[in-house]
Amino acid sequence: MAILELKEITKKFGGLTAVDGVSLKVEDGQICALIGPNGAGKTTVFNMITGAYQVSGGDIVFNGESICGRKSHQIVEKGIARTFQNIRLFKSATVLENVMTGFHCKTKTGMLNVIFKPGMCRKEEAKTREKSIEILRFLGLAEVRDLEARNIPYGHQRLLEIGRALATSPKLLLLDEPAAGMNSQEKEELVKTIRKIRDAYHLAILLVEHDMELIMGISEQITVINFGRKIASGTANEIQRNNDVIEAYLGRSDD
Amino acid sequence: MAKTKILFMAAIIIIIPILTPNMYIMQIVNMICIYIILGTSINVLTGFTGQLSLGQAAFFGVGAYTTALLNTRAGLQFIPCMIGSVLITALFGIVLAVPALKVKGSYLALLTMGFGEVVRIVMINWTPVTNGTAGILGIESPVLFGFAFDSLKKYYFLIVAFVILGLAYQNMIIHTRTGRAFVAIREDNEAAELTGINVTGYKIRAFVLSAIYCGMAGCLYAMMIRYISPDTFTNNISSVILWTAIVGGFGTVAGPVLGGIIMQVLPEALRFLGDWRLVVYGVILLIVILRFPGGLYPYVQKLLETVNKKKAAADAAEEG
């Protein structure tokens, strides 16, 4: 069953159509990629899925339910988490606190419970901490958990963002250029980590990426967009042989 | 260790009024306690949630006026007055939060400042209710379970109880999902929303909680001074509240305690300078924020840690 289905979604900014009738399906447990040249509208698609932008047309169905018009935090609650192209951690909070913040929508303690139900509060807090440390261990960040997020290395910050997203127990994880700024060795590690995450947390992953090597190595299904329109979709092999895609990336040959 | 710390704090709290030689100093001590609560109020809003407010005096004033009116007009005692102040300021918290959600940064600062002015002008001009610039006289001292808090020393213990409750609550709440949501909003609004936090809801909560602290402080102030007028709730007081948290350390629970002491003691200690005292006062504060960005408390904490480490090392050396 498709966990996420974009049905002909369109986004217009005034007279400019940034995304024009893009359709896309992500199956449960699948790793999919959305690629395209700069300015093709990839991040706009992400922003529509996460509710940051409202769609101008079409429908987004997640887990059998339309999520158009929902607020971002409600969409996260439903099970879509994302990371950012330019890392956006809670910089002066610790690594552990960053992940614990991710558990927000899965926990309940309110401002009055602190006074009236201190027991429940303490229990939930201990559980959140334990589960967060588990995620950090999984990502190999347990050692640095008490450091401020801004003080850990760049690669770790990227992982931490994924950790914070995992804390919301997503069914679908959106990764916005996860390999940006990484060297080839780090990229290899990242590919392994992404597969490991999918297998351990049983979720589907949709990623936007520029790095072709990474995309071709990891994706089971690739959708290519250019100028806001879908130009191709298929497996890595099919995409590599598609003339429209080659043209979009390399330009048209004149003969 | 925790027990000795608590005993130590309790001893200090009890000794202070015994050592205090006169009512003048006792009054300053009580004002310090009230400013600790006010500093905590802005700490919730600005220190933890990152929403700069220059209008805290308005909440403080609304709390004080609510108590004054409930007491002098309706003859209500301390507890119902306190509840009334808390509820009414909470309502004002929502009233300010609604427009405040739409702006940020310097615009938010201006908006909150305007809110403070509006409230003060209403206090001056709504004469039938507030008695205008003349203020409200004849507020009664609180009587709780037959015990009258009729002197400044007795009153001190009542305020301290609220300071402890207020700080304890603050300390608990920041270590829950609510506190983490506040910090997340301060650090990155959009990332917070996309981490599943209802940013709008939590900003409103921060405004309301902040207003409630001010409401408590206002009630305690009105029943201590027993006279209030609009002169007490000016923009100047809003800045003193802001400075209390800045000097002590934004985003730390104990910061406003240090800030409250410094901001109340300094102007009194500088009185011998006559007309120059405000200049010196300003310069000292400037030096503090330049030399100690992030407030004094984090530095004090570091200092204590190094002392403790040295002590532990010395102890270990002795044993070895």
Q: What are the tens digits of pLDDT across the range B155-167?
A: 999 999 999 999 9
Lowest mean pLDDT among A224-238, B26-40, B60-74: A224-238
The partner residue sitting opposite B193, judged by closest CB among A72, A89, A92, is A72
Helices (H), chain B: 2-19, 23-42, 56-72, 78-100, 106-125, 127-130, 152-173, 177-187, 189-193, 199-225, 235-248, 255-269, 277-291, 296-319
**For chain A, percent of residues with pLDDT exceeding 90:** 58
Whether residue B187 and residue A93 make contact (CB cut-off 8 A), yes or no, is yes
Question: Any CB–CB contact under 8 A between B299 and chain A?
Answer: no
ipTM metric: 0.91
Please calculate the CA angle A79-A85-A86 and round it to the nearest 5 degrees: 120
Whole-number Å distance between alpha carbons of B309 and B304: 9
Question: Any CB–CB contact under 8 A between A107 and chain B?
Answer: yes
Q: What is the mean pLDDT of chain B?
A: 92
Q: Give the pLDDT mean for A78-94.
A: 93
Question: Any CB–CB contact under 8 A between A76 and chain B?
Answer: yes
Give the pLDDT score at B37.
Answer: 96
**Residue of chain B whose Cα is closest to the Cα of A115:** B169
AA letter at A253: S
Give the pLDDT score at A253.
Answer: 64
Question: Any CB–CB contact under 8 A between A101 and chain B?
Answer: yes
Strand partners, A81: A173
pTM: 0.92
Chain B contacts of A100, Cβ < 8 Å?
177, 180
Chain A contacts of B178, Cβ < 8 Å?
109-111, 114
